Each structure stands twice: as structure tokens, then as C-alpha cells.
Amino acid sequence: MVMVTELSESRVPVGVTGAGEWVYLAREGGWSSLTGSTPVFLVTVLPKGGAFHSDLRDQLVAAGLPPSMADTFPVASSIRLGLTWPAEFWQQAALDWLEREGHAEAFLPELEALMHTGGTQRIRHTARRLVRAARQQARA
């Protein structure tokens, strides 16, 4: 296992196993899979936006790993957490990510829920716009 970065204000160590699996150091002291679980600190990736992947690539290179591994980081879990989080800040951060990076179609159930339960009118309208665009793209 090679440690690559730290996430959140708590500076949770995150690394990659020899098999290419992303893991984090759990409070219990052992390494846990980021894909097999969804630890709450993953939501802190969202405000970094596109800079997250760029920074992660740099950290992978510094650790002697291929920068392409950044593409395997489970960002979808971060987005899903943000969309379902009860705080407006994280909801908006997830929506902002989807507006910048795309792939809203992968989060239609969460976006449809936000259309009705989003913390602000801006969040509800953004969710509605993303759902409409994803549905139109699916028809095309």
C-alpha cells in the first residue's frame, strides 16, 4: 500500500494498494476500501472541483505511481454523498461539480429527490436543470 494524499480537515490518509484499490486509514486503525464503503469525509473532495484530479495526479507521480490512477478515484461516492447530505453547502458543491464535469445521468435518483427537497430554491432549480439535460441527452 502506498499513501498518496490526505483528505478533509482531519487529514485522513488515503492510499492505493498494489492491486490499484483506493483505501483510507480508518479510525479503528486498519486500512479500509473507499469503494467498499462511503466514509463521510469523501464529501470534502467536492469543493476542490477539477483541481482535485490535478492535485491527485501530482501526488500520485510524487508517490511513484501512474497519474492515470486519479481517474479511478471514487469521485461518484463523493458526489452522491453531497447530493444526499442534509446541508445546503454540500448539496450545492455536488451540483457545482456536476455542472462543471458532467455525468449527471449517473445521479438521476438523487437529483430528482433534490428537485423537491433541496435546501434552497437555487439547489432545486439546478437539480431540475441537470435532470432535464440528462434526460434530453439520453433521448438523443
pLDDT in tens, 72-112: 999 999 999 999 999 999 999 999 999 999 899 999 999 99
Its sign, for the CA torsion 12, 13, 17, 22, is: positive
Compute the distance between CA of residue 10 and CA of residue 133 in angstroms, rounded to an integer: 36
Contacts of 68 (CB under 8 A, 6+ apart): none
pLDDT in tens, 36-53: 888 999 999 999 988 999
pTM, entire model: 0.92
Check residue 6 and report its DSSP letter. Answer: E
Q: Which residue type is seen at 132?
A: R
